[in-house]
Structure 1
Amino acid sequence: LFSSAHFAMIETSSRLTEIQKETLSGIDANVVWQNSIETLPDFPLFIIGNELFDAIPMRQFVFSGGKWKERVVGLDENGALRFAAGAGSLDPALLPADADKAEDGAIFEIAPARNNLMSGIAERIARSGGAGLFIDYGYRETALGDTFQALRKHDYE
């Protein structure tokens, strides 16, 4: 099975593509790299993703002064980065049911690009066949909370 399989790595970073090619250079397998799922040939897709959806950009909103405002990054008086409440707002229909009980400073995250990616994968599997296995951790239901993290040299910043 392995010798007849074709593997496609989807990677948007040319630097990471080169690292992956070097890492897999000792494996005798038919591996190609693509920039997106849309560029794959039309055949049954068996996709495995580990923390795939955590790598997709998200938007955060903070509850401030009784309103949900987009959380943005700005500079403080010393020129250091800091979070602030921006002018952007949020469609209330996207909020979890208990959002009206949020305290000031509560965070809500959405990721339209993540939803678009999952829809694209589902449409592709429905059209051409296949299956998907995604290993990820997160909320089972839409909820308030801040999952944004900064790591440097494997340590939290």
Structure 2
Amino acid sequence: MTPLGRIIAGRIAAEGPMGLDDYMRLCLMHPDHGYYATRDPFGAQGDFTTAPEISQMFGELVGLALAQAWLDQGSPAPFTLAELGPGRGTLMADLLRATRRVPGFHDAARVTLVETSPHLRQVQRKRLGEITHLSSVADLPEIPLFLVANEFFDALPIRQMQRAEGGWAERMVTLDDSGALTLALAAPVALPRAAPEGEIWEICAEGTAIMSTVAQRLAVHGGVAIVVDYGTWDGKGDSLQALRRHAPEGILTHPGEADLTAHVDFAPLAGAAIRAGAAASAPERQGDWLRALGIEARAARLAAAGDAGAEAALHRLTDAAEMGHLFKAMAVWPRHLPPPAGFRPLPAAAPTQASATAGQPGLAPRS
């Protein structure tokens, strides 16, 4: 058992079973043994590779999309140029390089990274220089906001409810007879959601709260938020997974030494944005969205300039069998304005789980 595993086992022995959200939070952000708090997990030497690490094209196109939205909204100054969960700072570096010729954009931008990992903050400063770091979206200033969140929401803690006889039972981390970590179901509770027995419902209250805060800023002050992540619309089932050394493993196998993520359910995020007074788009497949922004032409120019990996990167980012379909992009913007480039407004009849998710933070409170 890992050092963090022993800490978790001791807490469960003393306090009882632990929710998956608390388990994820400890595994990822424990100050001494948490996955993100202690290492750089990105790239070939880490445990996974994100789109900005695959190719500069991704960050460039995100930057130009945000800059176009800034121009379309009258070039407000000053404005916050923010990224949630910025990793090594690669996306922001590519974004800034691509937008350096947009008149007034850099002068008006206040580059701000929302990052809780002390280790990753150091990595980001080395790449980007002096920037503003915040620990929470609640601390974002009350000015126009142009924001990107790439593979951020998938790492937020989730709860899992499983439909059982008599109601919904929360999946908990507990100890087996040998003292090893295992999963078990809590006592079922009644919830207003119909489903066949055995179905799993994943709830990310932290994600909807963050989206609500961002959308409130946009509704009042203007701007755009672009969210890119892997996931579905109104998803169901168990998607919680662990990744270590670029290979999947059990979520309880190496606490604190493996990345833990879950597929993003975009429906409650859109619902939170709409309830906060903003507009939201339907999720676009990443491949379709990047093509709409001109990634094929950009790859051709890079290849012509001698970038031998441009075509392979294009394939990986956009192909249906790679990242092109699994990953989605969604935008949020002020309700009275048109959507940013590459996005379509959410159809009025589309369900956003408003009734099922509005009360998520208080769902099935633990005693």
> What TM-score, normalized to structure 1?
0.81
Q: Deviations over 1:102-143 (max 9, x none)?
A: 233x311111111111111000111111011111222212x4
- Alignment CA distance shift 1:86-1:118 (3 Å): same
Please give the alpha-carbon distance, in whole angstroms, between the structure 1 residues aligned to 2:188 and 2:124.
38
Deviation at 1:34, TM superposition (A): 1.1
Match of 1:17 in 2: 121
- SS for the counterpart of 1:41 is coil
Q: Give, in whole Å, the separation in 2 of the partners of 1:47 and 1:88.
A: 39
**SS of structure 1 residue aligned to 2:232:** coil
Structure scoring higher RCO (CA < 8 A, sep ≥ 6) equals 1
> Please, what is the CA RMSD of the aligned residues?
2.0
Whether contact under 8 Å (1:70, 1:90) holds in the other structure is no
Deviation at 1:90, TM superposition (A): 5.5
Gaps in structure 2 of 5+ consecutive residues: 1-98, 101-105, 250-367
Instruction: Mark the CA change 1:46 to 1:84 in structure 2 (over 3 Å): closer, same or farther.
Output: same
Aligned equivalents of 1:156 and 1:90: distance in 2? 34
CA distance in 2, matches of 1:123, 1:11: 20
Q: CA deviation at 1:40?
A: 2.5
**Aligned counterparts of 2:201 and 2:242: Cα–Cα separation in 1:** 18
Q: Offset at 1:11? A: 0.6
Is the counterpart of residue 110 in structure 1 residue 203 in structure 2?
Answer: yes
2:165 is the alignment partner of 1:60: no
Q: Which of 134, 138, 143 is equivalent to 1:34?
A: 134
**Matched residues in 1 for 2:190 and 2:136: separation?**
29
> Aligned equivalents of 1:90 and 1:31: distance in 2?
47
Is residue 131 from structure 1 mapped to residue 231 from structure 2 by the alignment? Answer: no
Task: Give the number of equivalent residue pairs.
Answer: 145
Moved over 4 A (4+): none
Quickly say closer, same or farther: Cα 1:14–1:89, change in 2 above 3 A. farther
Alpha-carbon distance, 1:45 to partner: 0.4
* CA contact 2:167–2:188 (8 Å) conserved in 1: no
3-state SS of the aligned residue for 1:21?
helix
* 3-state SS of 2:230 partner: coil
Structure 1 counterpart of 2:236: 144
Larger fraction in helix: 2
Cα offset, 1:66, TM superposition: 4.6
TM-score by length of 2: 0.37
